[in-house]
A and B are shown apart, each in its own frame.
Chain A
């Protein structure tokens, strides 16, 4: 049997009604092993205006590189505020294998929904100063001058990272066709 996937439609402006009942901005409970990190960022549209009606979902492995572990599910969901800002507190994921069995650099999968998009965006967050980035098979597919858009920046205190979603323009974030 061969069917076609249902056509994607926008979440629209009223997404909060249906989706923010499940808000998960703190992914790691006390006692979950791993390096504590926070990731904060803003979503900006083609005019540089904040996108205040978006929803960001993240999906990541635990510190050992295991997805969907008992103590750490690894799923987060944050709606942007009036300033277009989303935020997560989590742990740095371990490395997971790529398609050829070689290990990928630590990364977090990202999905973004918003009014004005008929289907969601797919991106990834990588970590600054991570030697494994140089050999990551997915980063290698991205034009070198745009790779930086996928790598978070260190901010202030230890473990604090910033990663923005720039929808258009010269600093446009890399989005994937997944």
Chain B
């Protein structure tokens, strides 16, 4: 196996800039000075490992965290975590959080006039298996208004946080649902120019993971950065 020297830098148009004025909160929070290109040293090439101990095996099921069943359409959200070279990322922590079926978060700052659900917190986590697979049971989140612009509504989404095996693979993203007409107007979804990159944020209805009479399945694969695979001696300009 080649020694990892660097992880790949993003392809043009596939990752957002910090400043994106359509998403108004970026204006006072985006760095204004140029970023410094960071070489990948051990600090960047390593990362924390988590296990069942901290994560409970039942943490993947968001519908079983309270006395009763949450209101809403029960769904299975599953997929694989891969790197850019197509290799599965095993045993990595996946954390999710989401609004309830009415589009409300149980959070002190969420003032949306929609009901909270005493049977739904909206947080889950799991570790990927040997093949990089993860699976959650949850309910389909609702859309909700936000104050970014007049009549702004977030499309239904589930937040994902992933670690991978190196700090440079750390990723927080959002999963969307197919056919959602709100996607076209959403500044976050539209934060990158690459159309295919945007489409990859949308899950697909998946008959294979759908459980008859119980829950529809949605598939969402996540790709983390992958190591450059060009051997050192073949790299142009590398004199070592």
Contacts and interface: CB of A to CB of B under 8 A. Distances in A.
Nearest to A57: B170
A177 interface: yes
10 contacts: A3-B82, A4-B11, A4-B84, A5-B14, A7-B198, A10-B172, A11-B172, A118-B20, A121-B18, A141-B37
Contacts of A18: 95-97, 122-123, 125, 159, 161
A7 B191 contact: yes
Contacts, number: 227
A116 B84 contact: no
Nearest to B84: A3
Interface residues of A, number: 70
B171 interface: yes
Contacts of B125: 18, 21
Contacts of B167: 59, 109, 111, 178
Interface string B206-240: 00000000000000001111100000000000000
Interface of A: 1-19, 21-22, 45-47, 49, 51, 53, 57, 59-61, 67-68, 73-75, 96-99, 104, 107, 109, 111, 113-122, 124, 137-138, 141-142, 146, 167-169, 172-178
Interface string B60-89: 000000000000000000000011111000
B156 interface: no
Given A6-B222, A167-B31, A168-B32, A97 B95 contact: no
A6 B160 CA distance: 11
B109 interface: yes
A10 B146 CA distance: 14
Chain B interface mostly: loop
Given A118-B20, A141-B36, 19 more contacts: A3-B86, A4-B10, A4-B200, A5-B224, A6-B201, A6-B224, A7-B192, A17-B97, A17-B105, A18-B122, A21-B123, A22-B54, A59-B48, A73-B49, A96-B43, A118-B23, A118-B188, A118-B191, A178-B40
